[in-house]
Amino acid sequence: MSNKITRRKIIKQGGLALTALALPFPLIAFTKFNRMTDIKNFDVIIIGGSYAGLSAAMALGRSLRNVLIIDSGLPCNRQTPHSQNFITQDGEKPFEIAEKAKKQVLKYETVKFHNDIAVNAKKTTNGFIITTQKAEEFLTKKIVFATGVKDLKPEINGFAACWGISVIHCPYCHGYEVKNEKTGILANGNFAYHYAQLVHNLTKDLTIFTNGKADFTGEQSAKFKQRNIAVIEKEISLLKHQNGKLQQIVFKDHSTFDITAIYSRPAFEQHCKIPEALGCELTEQGLLQVDMFQKTTVENIFACGDNASPMRSVANAVASGNIAGAMINNMMTEEEF
């Protein structure tokens, strides 16, 4: 075979080299850009790109799995000013933690990120087809749902504006920052009693607001009295605040109560309905049912983070995502070996 290079090849290669020199970015940039539009088939698609989803993606990316993260960029804690009780990141801004994580995850060349919302998924012979809001379709062998939950906030004026700032849900995530402050619990029955047990260790200036008729056992009421925890049954009209920081509770009878922080645990629902449509079962609490390896009740579908755990924290989301990623890779290695 002749190794002779024709004049045409020399001109073609020379022109390509000159073009590359003239461009302000390397030719490989075209390859990376086109790869996102050309490749529609992935080993794993992760729906939800916050802490749990990014953690799962890192474990899979480090195992050379082709992964697509689909996310809209609207995490449920976007209003929370700081993240606590997460070692090495204590006190950092949630957005900054997520952005740093995303940059680290996308260094793994087999992981891609798609800014979009998954709206549908169908089973196929070899996996699933995911359809997005932008009418894109992607194929995958496995799915990870890291979609979180949607809080159903009470219709109290000011509640939503204070949520995650001074109306808080977790003593472990926020309690230290409001220790010894004038604190309320907006709850009733067993939820309120459990909150009182946890929060009483952080402040002795504690009041329970049931927003209607109280529903406590005699034993619970006696314990409140013993601990000097008042129970107020008045219905709440609004929460007076300044930029999300509580100042007063205003009741429907126009009386007020000065307050710095309120613990509340509103009802919630799954943020994404696709898992249920695919047959994934929910627990009595309304969470996606998973085993210790984050497997749902449907083969090849995993879930991690707040949608599958009552422990709503950044640290727990990261841990569960890491488990999901590792277990999926383990499953795939067994299938392929």
Task: State both tokens at 130.
Answer: 């995911």
Looking at the structure, give the CATH architecture of the domain made up of residues 154-265. 3-Layer(bba) Sandwich (3.50)
Domains 7-151+268-336 and 154-265 share a fold: yes
pLDDT at 12: 46
Quote the CA–CA distance of 91 and 310 in Å, as a whole number.
22
Report which of 45, 36, 51, 52 is spatially closest to residue 69, judged by C-alpha positions.
Answer: 45
Q: What is the pLDDT of residue 39?
A: 65
Estimate to the nearest angstrom the gap between the alpha carbon of 122 and the chain centroid. 23
> What pLDDT, on a 0 to 100 scale, did the predictor assign at position 64?
97
Q: Which CATH number fits domain 7-151+268-336: 3.40.640.10, 1.10.3720.10, 3.40.50.150, 3.50.50.60?
A: 3.50.50.60
Residue of 140, 147, 145 whose CA lies nearest to 44:
140
Domain spans in the chain, listed from the N-terminal domain onward: 7-151+268-336, 154-265
Residue 76: the pLDDT is: 65
Res 94: pLDDT: 79
Model pLDDT, residue 28: 34
Residue ranges of the chain with per-residue pLDDT less than 50: 1-3, 7, 9-36
The two tokens of residue 71 are 């996310």
Look at residue 92 in the predicted model and tell me its pLDDT. Answer: 80
